Each structure stands twice: as C-alpha cells, then as structure tokens.
Amino acid sequence: MARLSGGLNNKEQHIILVEPWGFPERPVSVEPDRPIPVWIKALGAIFRPFNPLAGLRLVGPLGKTGETLRPDFKKKFSSMFSDDTVPQYIYHLNVQTPSGETAFKNMTGPYGWAKRPMLHRIDRLHPDIPITIIYGSRSSIDSNSGSSIKDMRPHSHVEIITIRGAGHYVYADQADDFNHRVLQVCDKVD
C-alpha cells in the first residue's frame, strides 16, 4: 500500500490499490463440500520451506524454457514485442536474489493467506484519505475485500473499479482501460 507523503495535506493524497493481496482473513474452516485434498496438503508441507520460484533458480538456464509454461505473458505484449523480450525479462527477473519473494513468503501463511490481514488495520488510515481499488473481472484475488473496506470507512471516499476482461495482471490484460482509469483518479488529486 503506497501513499503520497512529505508535507502534503490529506486533500493531496490518494491511495490506489491494484489487485490488492493480503486483505481478507483466512477462512476458519474449509467448505465441507470442497475439502482440501490430502495430496495438496502434502505438497504444501513439502514446499513450504522454499520460496515459490526456487525451482526456477535451481534449473538455471533450462528455466528459460518457462515461456512454454506461460505463453500468455508473451501474447499479452505481442503488440509491443515480437521477439522473446518479455519471457526473457520474466526469467531474468525471477532468477535474481529473491528479496520480494522472500518477503511475500514471510507474510503468508498456509495456502497464501496473509498472516496479518490488512482489513484488521485499514481503519487506522485517516478518513480524509481517499482509496481507489482496481480489480480485474477475471482475477483470482477476492474483490469482496473492496466492499469490506467501503463498509469499514463509511465517511471516506472508497471507489471500487472493476475492469472487464482483465485478470490479475489488469495493467497488462486491459492496458488502455487501466491507464485511463488511473489517470482519472490522478486528475481528481490534482
């Protein structure tokens, strides 16, 4: 969560959250009709000590073939790059020292739920600071948190924007719509 700071008053601040992770509480129990399979629990226990992309670093240069696992990344940017720029960028980004990945791992509990959900702390934010939350309509991120934030801040400006046809990578899936919406929010601050 980022915020403008340094001598600005609350009228010059606005928080924009894009596909925000880490807001909801982990469900207390699993739905009885959808229990977590034992094999998923076992894999989770085996891989929990490792960072999520440790395998990519382990295979070294062979990991460059990862574009066959996620061809959607190359396709999303095909209008800008006709070569392997995007898969190469993603590969080199993910084989570096995993500082962000380590931070994410330390903030998560089992199955990717936040250890300290942000919904427990969002009420500490000054009510004059507006929040805009942007979700992709096809994202796996739980957008119910946006409604919860709005309910928790009844005297604050909380706007929820859903961008049609976008998944988690909303800025890439629907770049023109995303950029337009962000510029609209920024115009309100100016």
Is the per-residue pLDDT at 1 higher than 80? no
**What's the whole-number average pLDDT of the chain?**
78
Per residue in 23-46, pLDDT tens? 988 777 655 566 667 776 676 666
d(CA 7, CA 5): 6
Identify the DSSP state of 17.
E
Lowest mean pLDDT among 45-49, 84-88, 156-160, 169-173: 45-49
Which residues share a beta bridge with 161?
A: 134
Instruction: Report residue 113's pLDDT band, with 50, 70 and 90 as the boundaries.
Output: confident
Topology annotation, domain 1-25+117-190: Rossmann fold (3.40.50)
Instruction: Report residue 71's pLDDT band, with 50, 70 and 90 as the boundaries.
Output: low
Diameter over CA atoms, the chain: 54
